[in-house]
Every structure is written in structure tokens, then in C-alpha cells.
Amino acid sequence: MARFKLTIEYEGTRYSGWQFQKNSKTIQGKLLEAVKEIFKNQKIELYGSGRTDAGVHALRQTAHLDVTTMLAPEIIRMKMNDLLPADINILEVEKASPKFHARHDAKQRSYLYQISRRRTAFGKPFVWWIKDELHLNRMKNAAALFIGMHDFQSFADKDDEEKSTKVLINNITVEEHGALILIRIVGSHFLWKMVRRIVGVLAEAGRGKLAEADIHRFLEEYSSEPAKLTAPPSGLFLEKIYYTESAAENTTEPFLNISAVTFHRK
């Protein structure tokens, strides 16, 4: 049996997240359908680097595929893309070590969130439009408070698969690109709904409705308030999975330029 590393992009609007669910449409489910069609009557295993929530997108999700085949990686990629819907695309298939694990070997993950300052006819599935004025410096100051090792119990829904709510955040950047505010979060891993709640809190800080003392309190003791501020999934993209100890590049580019729809540049 051979192991392959898959790099995948997808628009999550129509899906109930990454993870396979028996009675729901998911990204992993669609990938498995394609793989089973190509490798009929074979034992197949497909593992992702982590789950994305319903409606969340991915620019470079990583998965590994175990299958017995003589097909070249590029042929596997083309055959899978022929069978996948238009909103899921395999960017790359590579041969991998049998010991490589898409989830367990990941050192860092980065997410990108897009807030739009204006109403958009084209970008609604990819942004969170906020009508209120947002003060960028307040958001940047609030973002700095999350960097480091913290207990994010206030920022996560209960998940039986997670043994701890402590997460190392390596970096958060908040930048302005035209009508977009881009929030890029790099961390060791992320809890269920954690990124969207951080974004919701940053937006509330940008509105001037949360002080830095409030954020300190959320990180020091449990509070249900961040859950009420959860940002919508539309603006969230899993950006990249990192498999080396080197830090993720500190650059933030929009996936969607509201003035002219463009594709993300690698």
C-alpha cells in the first residue's frame, strides 16, 4: 500500500465541514467518493490535517491517502479532479513516506479571515461584511494579547476529541487591503470554532465595545461571551499546513480582491 500527500482547495459554502458524516455533504465525503470510484474494491484510507467547520473554505488543506496502486501521482490528481465537483480541487498529489501523517506531523497551521468594510455583490460567500466602523489599531492591540500559550476554553465548543484547551498562538496579523481587513492567525493547532471566536472578539474590540481587560479575562477564566460573538464561517479560510519547525511566513494577502475578483496567489 502506498501513501500519497494531497493538497486540496475548496469552497466550503455547500458543505457541512471537512469531516465525513453519513447523512451530510462533506469535503472528505466527496473525496472518498472520487477515490472509491477510481480504486474500486480496494481498501482506502484518507486522513485530513484537521477539520474545518461547515461553510469554511480552504486554500491549501492537506490530507494523506493510503491505496494500493501503480498510478503516478499526477494521474491520480487528474482522475480525482475529473470526478470532483467544481468547488473542490486537488492542487497537488505527491508520494509520501509511509510514516507521514497529515494531522500528527503538522507543526503549525494558518488561517485567514476576511472582513469587508463594504457591501459586495460578488464577495458575500468569502467575507464578513461589517457595517460598523472598525478601528484597525484597536484590533491590532487586541490581537497581540492572544499571542503565546493560553487556555482557550472561552473560545471553543466542547469537543470530546480534544484533551486540552491550551493552544500556542505563534502570530496574529491584522492588515488592511482596500475594502478588506485581513486577519491571519498562525498556531500549533486550533479548537472547534476557536478562530471564528477570536475574530469576533477582535471585531468587537475594533468597534470599541471590548477593552483589553475583557480579553485578558476571557483568557484567564471561562466566559460564554466569545461564543455570542462568533464570526460567520463565510470569511474563514484554512490557509496552509506547515510540516517543518520553521515559522510560517509573515505575509497576508487577500483571497478575494473586492474591486476585482482574483484567485489567491501561492
Q: What is the pTM of this model?
A: 0.90
Active site residue 132: no
Going by their DSSP bridges, the two strands 166-177 and 148-151 should be labelled as: antiparallel
CATH code for 108-242?
3.30.70.660
Q: How far apart are CA 211 and CA 168, in angstroms?
A: 22
Query: What type of residue sits at position 118?
Result: R
pLDDT (tens digit, 9 = 90+) per residue, 126-184?
A: 999 999 999 999 999 999 999 999 999 999 987 666 678 999 999 999 999 889 999 99
Output the DSSP codes for 176-227: EETTEEEEEEEES---TTHHHHHHHHHHHHHHT-S-HHHHHHHHHS--SHHH
Is the CB of residue 2 less than 8 Å from the CB of residue 95? yes
Domain 2-96 and domain 108-242, same fold? Reply is: yes
Q: What is the pLDDT of residues 209-245, one digit of tens each?
A: 999 999 999 999 999 999 999 999 999 999 999 998 6
Please identify which of the residues 53, 105, 157, 159 carries the catalytic annotation.
53
- List, for residues 119-141, the tens digit of each pLDDT value: 988 889 999 999 999 999 999 99
CATH class of domain segment(s) 2-96:
alpha beta
First to last CA, the chain: 31
Nearest by Cα to 130 from 142, 141, 145, 115? 115
Find the helix or strand (DSSP H, E) in which 27 lies: helix 27-38
All structural domains of the chain with their residue ranges: 2-96, 108-242
